[in-house]
Chain A
Amino acid sequence: MNFNEHDAKKAILVPAGIPVLNGRLCHEAAEAAEAVRALGPCAIKAQVPTGKRGKAGGIKLAKTPEEAQQAAETILGMSIGGYEVGAVLAEQAATIRKEYYAAVLHAPSERASLVLFCAEGGMDIEELAEERPQAIRRFLVKDPGHFTMEDALMLTVDLDDDAQEVARILVSLYRRYRETDAELLEINPLARLDDGRVVALDCKFVLDDAASSRQETLCAHAAPAKSTALEREAAAQGLKYIELDGEVGILANGAGLTMTTMDVVSHYGGRPANFMEIGGDAYTKAEPALRVVLTNPKLRSLVVNFCGAFARTDVMAEGVVNAWKKLKPEIPVFFSVHGTGEDEAVALITAELGLTPYDLMEDAVQAAIGTAQ
């Protein structure tokens, strides 16, 4: 779950005492002009949860209300990284003396957390990691909750005057990362201003989806996901659905098998119309899942590929058969069914739909591609 800069600053940094500049969230250009009247010169910043906003033209400096009006008019409604800009943050302009980079994130291969610090902020950290990895200092936190001032000072020790203050911010940042179930909490840049303050000029916060039930207050401020109407409808029903460009519809159980079905469709020259996975507890949701898959107007044929381990194929087949009889779709469907509950599933499909499942998924897929073309 991603958050826009303004929400991340307000909900994550400010409560932790990490300073940010004065700013106003504006949904209309006139509000941006008003903000500059009140705060003086401002940076007008597109609020979308994606990087490289500056490069995309989503951040402009406005010295006068007229400039703010103009900048906001340009930026509002822009599309950046697939997100439409619905709001801008008008943030008081400041003179920067020095920029740093600070982040806390999961380190899956170490099964631990990583605090990153770099004395050169503001740049693309991924590019820097590629070009000069030694510039990024790392501290691996193996024992959750144990990142001390002493640890932080190891990262900031050569910053002269800023060492203590920046280290304190790193400690707060790590504490917030834990409290808010963050996967990533990043300040880039963290800046020492000419007036002496150290402030977070930007903030990126990614909340772990699995923790959303215990972070309801925060989740209410999350940026809307980049998804189609059909994807949102599926998500609301607890289904993992991704809309794609092709013609061959896919319904399968388990992430691995569903991805593999897509792969086999492309391998034989077809194009998948979707990813729809009803593994795990969702195996009882074959009927609503099929409804979503069939809603896609690009669909020309459908592959139903089940291999039951935890998921019972008889339960899934019943859902498919029910949906099929209710919706009476006119496209051809090709089954391959194996694993838990296989005999009952095959008998049901044969009796109710008059179809014989293919022994190999590869054959079911090729048949589906053949009729889609």
Chain B
Amino acid sequence: MADIADYFRGFAVTFRKLFEDRVTGEYRGGRAKEGQPDDKRPKPERLHGRHVLNRYEDGMEKCIGCELCAGVCPANCIYVRGADNDPENPTSPGERFGFVYEINYLRCIHCDLCVEACPTQAITESKLFEFSFTNRSDAIYTKDELVVGDDGKPQQMPWEDWRDGEDQLTSGWMRATSSAGDHRYEGVVHWAGELGYGVRAPELGQSAEVASAPADGGEVE
């Protein structure tokens, strides 16, 4: 008999849910008419949204065109071609820079392996998640759209609905380990400065010893 009672307990559960608070919000992506609710919740700190290509504090691009991100990408959504820097007027510090950089967001699974792979912290993921493009060519973000502007903020796509502060949380500072993925850097902030922000403050649980050597004396730079 207990079994039969269990069946009806299930019905009671679903009926009770009718009167409970909703867990979802009323989000309309900025297209709400007057008087309609349009709530966007704050995103979690480590959300994997769309990518940005960062620049150093002096305005140089961080990307060196090494294609490690393209190599590691499980979805094959990144296309990179490097080129030699003009010695007179370099795009990035060093020999090479990312000449072509494209990400196909119809393929990207936002696994963040490209961010892990990047040796210069050039590619990071922001919390911007709106991808409501209406054709396939719009789905491929080119370097012009990915690289941060002169104020260090990402480019706003026409279909993105930015709320306060969402454009600022763009950098890989939220990762637990360093750019090289080396466990010895776990809990230690090891970031190059960024255009518009400088060196980001450490996250909760991270030590603020910038670029300090790991305890066992391994090489840092």
User: Do A and B truly interact?
Assistant: no
